[in-house]
Structure 1
Amino acid sequence: MKFDLHTHHERCGHADGQIRDYIEAAIQSGLDVIGISDHSPYFASDEDQPFPKITMAKSQFDDYVNEVLNLKKEYEGRIDVLLGVESDFFPQHADIYANVYKNYPFDYIIGSVHQSGGVSIFNKNRWKRLNREQQIEHKEEYYDLIQQSARSGMFQILGHIDAMKAYYPAFSDLPTPKVEETLKVIAENQLAIEINTSGKTKDVGGWYPSDSMLEMALHYGVDVTFGSDAHVPSRVSDEFELVRKRLLEIGFKHWVYFKQKQKQVVSL
């Protein structure tokens, strides 16, 4: 059983291709399940699309959902198409997002922290002129947000939980107990984390999260899933087999995906 739960398409403004292109790529890759999970609109904004190069417009959301549901029917019997969304997490706006999502038949929702301290986690400049103590404070603020997202009850999966290292690889070496504490919180709230292979497209290379975090996840009983975070169809299922092999080496016996928000356990 092969699956990929994290894919995007052109509505978000920074990915290429139509949803159909990602489904066709999944079939070519031999996947049994493909999840469509484009970036959520900024639902708390008064503007329809305040950041057109980051997320889709609020006015596009119904069309997005309906297109996925129609393609699910069209491809039935060839591949299982799942309706997902990658949701931003803003604690002050969580209720707004939750009230929107309850109106749609999502198979799963990925909760991802993309901003910390009001700055993108991918902003290289945030690390300049910070001493080590301040860098650790930035890291701990990020993991505080991930803990809040885990406790929110909005998500089945947490996305790329160490992606702040993308353009600052030294992030992984900043010591703090917050990382292990966060994995405990994720376990307590029975969420899955994704192994996200898009880190290879950033300065850090490799995957999110690090092997050390996956080892802690195994220790605390956190389920894992797979997401390429493809922004071009050619990256669908990218390094799936390598991830599967590495998880076996670490000691995992299974991974999961979600359908109608119910956990589906797949042997490695």
Structure 2
Amino acid sequence: MINLHLHTVRCNHATGTVAEMAAAAYAAGLKEIGFAEHGPLPQPIDDWRLELLDVPLYQAEIEAARSQFPDMPIRFGLELDYLPQFREFYPDLHQVAPFDFLIISVHYIGDWNFDWDRYIDGYNHRDIDDIYRSYYALVREAVENRVGDVVGHLDLPKRFGHRPTEAIRDEVERTLETVARAGLVLELNTAGLLEKVQEAYPEDWIVRRALEMGIPFTLGSDAHDPANVDTGLEWAVRYLYDLGVRELVTFERRQRKKLVLEPQWKAANSRT
């Protein structure tokens, strides 16, 4: 099946080159993959992302992998961290290369990276519901500003086990309504299955509500290691299929393409 969320050594916190990740995906029987390296920003705020000058090298590595695995479509993308102070930068970044897809992500609230265990103490000094309110407001702003095509790992602040109260359901509803109006896609991200939270992003009720609103889905394992190229995907396919989903979304040159969801994909497509 599809995995539209792979990282490489180019983000400085993953292992595996484009070639190594592609080889692992091919061996695992994936039908299609997409690389979504952490995208550049106009000013340095951290050291775990692709540099703007390295985008052509990243693209060349993907082209080489396409030549090596011609029967496995390989999509060229970025995961774009949304920071409001850089909102004017994203439209220019979209034109830097012929990207197939762009994932919208929020990892920062202000200057706090809530997604990194190095800064986990920040949860102890903030109201958890306020964290979620700020997070969902940023997601909505990113969607409204058309920063990308896919909303990645929605409900990410739960990563370390911090859960909001029922009051935050209204924030989620507003966010899903914004995604639906914008015609964007949600990612079912299986990385959480390996993390403390031990569930996918977003959680079950959010997935079900998104489907009720007609929001389409794509899949990603958010792999930072070749060993995780298919982590949780077999579960994700069965989960979505059992919810009535029969199509997933992929992209080519920022245009949507439909991919039939087959519940027995791995057995049918395994190349090992």
3-state SS of paired residue (1:6): strand
Gaps of 5+ in 1: none
Q: Distance in 2 between matches of 1:14 and 1:171?
A: 29
3-state SS of paired residue (1:26): helix
Q: Distance in 2 between matches of 1:153 and 1:34?
A: 23
Does the 8 A contact of 2:2 with 2:33 survive in 1?
Answer: yes
Does the 8 A contact of 2:129 with 2:165 survive in 1?
Answer: no
Q: Distance in 2 between matches of 1:116 and 1:90?
A: 8
Q: Distance in 2 between matches of 1:26 and 1:211?
A: 26
Show the 5 A alignment for 1:107-122: 107-122=100-115
Asked if 1:68 is matched to 2:62, the reply is: yes
Q: TM-score, normalization: structure 2?
A: 0.89
The residue aligned with 2:52 is: 58
Residue 264 of structure 1: how far off its partner (Å): 1.4
The residue aligned with 1:35 is: 34
Q: Whose relative contact order is higher, 1 or 2, with alpha carbons under 8 Å and at least 6 apart?
A: 2
Does the 8 A contact of 1:84 with 1:106 survive in 2?
Answer: yes
Q: Which of these residues, 153, 170, 174, is aligned with residue 177 of structure 1?
A: 170
Show the 5 A alignment for 1:169-208: 169-171=162-164, 175-208=168-201
Show the 5 A alignment for 1:75-224: 75-76=69-70, 78-122=71-115, 123-130=119-126, 134-171=127-164, 175-224=168-217
Q: Distance in 1 between matches of 2:123 and 2:74?
A: 40
Does the 8 A contact of 1:190 with 1:222 survive in 2?
Answer: yes
Q: Give the counterpart letter for 1:28 in structure 2.
A: A
Listed one character per residue, the Cα deviations across residues 26-71 of structure 1 (whole Å, up to 9, x for unaligned) are 1111112111111112x221x5xx533x213333222112221232
Q: Distance in 1 between matches of 2:53 and 2:8?
A: 16
Q: Give the counterpart letter for 2:51 in structure 1.
A: A
Asked if 1:266 is matched to 2:259, the reply is: yes
Q: Which of these residues, 244, 249, 265, is aligned with residue 251 of structure 1?
A: 244
Q: Distance in 2 between matches of 1:81 and 1:176?
A: 36
Does the 8 A contact of 1:196 with 1:226 survive in 2?
Answer: yes
Residue 17 of structure 1: how far off its partner (Å): 1.0
Gaps of 5+ in 2: 262-272
Q: Distance in 2 between matches of 1:179 and 1:215?
A: 12
Residue 201 of structure 1: how far off its partner (Å): 2.5
The residue aligned with 1:7 is: 6
1:61–1:151 CA distance, 2 compared to 1 (3 A): same
3-state SS of paired residue (1:38): strand
Q: TM-score, normalization: structure 1?
A: 0.90
Q: Distance in 1 between matches of 2:94 and 2:61?
A: 16
Q: Give the counterpart letter for 1:44 in structure 2.
A: P
Residue 101 of structure 1: how far off its partner (Å): 2.1
Does the 8 A contact of 2:128 with 2:163 survive in 1?
Answer: no
The residue aligned with 1:44 is: 42
1:174–1:7 CA distance, 2 compared to 1 (3 A): farther
Q: Distance in 2 between matches of 1:116 and 1:70?
A: 37
